Amino acid sequence: MNRANLPYLRITSVINYMSTTDNVGLLMGSSRFGSLSDSYTSKKLGYNFIKASYPAGTLPEHLHNLKVLIKKGLIPKAVVVGVDDFSINNQIVHKEFNRRLYPLGIIDTFDFWSEQLFRQPKVSELKVALYGNYNKVNIKASPHNYWKPKKTLLTSKHEKKMLHLMAHKVGADTKNNINAIISNVKDLKKLSKQYNFKLIFFYTPRWATTYLYRNHEQIHQFKKELAKHVDFFDFSGLTKNNMEHHLWRETSHYTTELSNLIIDTIIDNKSQAGIWGRKITSENISRHLTELKQDIYDNADHWLQKKPDTEVYPVLYSWLNSNSAPKEQKTWEALSYNTNEWHPISKKNNGRWSKKKIVTITIPPQKNIDRIVFQITGAPTSFYNKKRKNRKMILKVNNNHYGSAIFGKGKGLSNKKTITILGDFSNKTNITFILHNLYKQSKKIKPKTDRKKYGFLLKNEFTTLNK
């Protein structure tokens, strides 16, 4: 990666700033802090705030950086720390060449500069040096990089984009270590008492699509442990602020407008408010987690109707309702379909593909079912190129428009979709898939060749359940 050491440059900038400025506050978090306005935060909280954050910044790294500042005699007056599901699943201290932290101590300094000066460069880095392709080198380390919202975020085009983007996923849940993260929290709290600076924690918000693809059982466990040691403000939930497209840049990062709302809410310091931005303490954490769970139960279907290709976390339904029992059925054994529209993929794979732009399947009456979930692939990989980056699918249920989905390859897009259809399935149900934006097809193309270029595929299983 042709990228300068942003963590080191960021803390260097902070050191220079704190050396000449009094009453300094630090903003410590990941790339979700990128839109946080240090000037607005300073105005509201009353300190001279600067960012000590950077992309993929972890809690143990922020603890390290704070120790670096303290060792240099640079004591902040306030520290605002953002934690979230990334904190749980990413508690490492990065060791990559371009992510090495500002050294702490003589040995650390020797190791740092030995690697920086004598590391064998990669071929890609030599090309940058030889051919002057410096636009690939990111050395933007200003602590005051106020992200200004764009007018395009207010458009219907951006709204459609937000609805078509998929969830921003984190690392495997098996890598989490809540105890290690809580240990970092306790160390930060200890430093705040020892050096007398104000410490504020908040749990960052999530766009609804991303929020539904989270291990909430794990997150609730983390919040419960966090509340034992520090108070924090929680901006979770399927609430208006986490569903308004103009408040979000994409499915992981919010705008400065939402950041300002976060700071305003922290100033209000309310523990009895609605779930979004509530101040969490050891006294109200149990009630708060119960209300968060109920919020998902009450509002998840509203979002699924708005975005039927929302991928729900695998055990979310069973966590919400222990009586929920998803049942997998064989699609092509349980459903009715036109054999001239759907073709077997192979003898080993019982899924079906179709070259038709409009295809239908019929679901027989189902008892005690309120949703059906399908796995669909939009096209073989060979379909996509520079001119054909995506394709659109319209869903109809019993000839009524139900929703749409965008298949594609690229940032935030996916060629494989999980489609959830909600409704009453006690009677026979027809589901129609309509593909748009296909390039002109040749009538002479054989079905096998056609599948490679055009066909979209439906897996051989579908899931039925009652939430």
φ/ψ of 277, rounded to 5, equals 85, 10
pLDDT digits (tens, 9 = 90+) for 259-285: 999 999 999 887 667 899 999 999 999
For 120, what's the count of Cα atoms within 13 Å in the CB-facing half-sphere?
1
pLDDT at 236 over 70: yes
At 111, the pLDDT band (50, 70, 90 cuts) reads: confident
> What does the pLDDT read at residue 271?
67
At 134, the pLDDT band (50, 70, 90 cuts) reads: low
φ/ψ of 360, rounded to 5, equals -135, 145
> What does the pLDDT read at residue 235?
96
Closest by Cα among 140, 110, 137, 148 to 9: 140
φ/ψ of 248, rounded to 5, equals -130, 135
Three-state SS at 390: strand
Amino acid at 368: N
**What is the number of residues in the chain?**
467
Residue 232 CA, distance from chain mean position: 21
Closest by Cα among 295, 278, 301 to 223: 278
Residue 450, number of CB atoms within 10 A of its CB = 17
Q: DSSP class of residue 122?
A: P
> What does the pLDDT read at residue 423?
93
Residue 181, number of CB atoms within 10 A of its CB = 22
Cα angle 89-95-100, degrees, rounded to a multiple of 5: 115
At 409, the pLDDT band (50, 70, 90 cuts) reads: confident
pLDDT digits (tens, 9 = 90+) for 437-450: 644 444 444 444 44
Q: Which residues of 93-127 are buried (b: 16+ CB within 10 A; e: fewer)?
A: ebeeebbbbbbbeeeeeeebeeeeeeeeeeeebee
pLDDT digits (tens, 9 = 90+) for 328-356: 888 888 888 888 888 887 766 678 888 88
Closest by Cα among 309, 291, 288 to 299: 291
Identify the structural domains of the chain with CATH numbers, from first to last: 6-306 (3.40.50.1110), 325-465 (2.60.120.260)
Question: pLDDT exceeding 70 applies to what percent of the chain?
Answer: 86
Tell me how far apart the alpha carbons of residues 290 and 293 are, in angstroms, rounded to a whole number. Answer: 5
pLDDT at 399 over 70: yes
Amino acid at 129: A
Predicted model pTM: 0.89
Kindly compute the dihedral angle of the four CA atoms of residues 271, 273, 277, 281, in this order, to the nearest 10 degrees: 20
With beta carbons less than 8 A apart as the criterion, state whether 260 and 36 touch: no
At 160, the pLDDT band (50, 70, 90 cuts) reads: confident
With beta carbons less than 8 A apart as the criterion, state whether 203 and 84 touch: yes
Give me the helices (H) in 139-276, please. 156-164, 178-195, 208-211, 216-227, 256-268
Tell me how far apart the alpha carbons of residues 192 and 269 are, in angstroms, rounded to a whole number. Answer: 19
With beta carbons less than 8 A apart as the criterion, state whether 455 and 407 touch: no
> What does the pLDDT read at residue 139?
47
pLDDT at 26 over 60: yes
φ/ψ of 112, rounded to 5, equals -60, -55
Q: State the average pLDDT for the chain.
A: 85
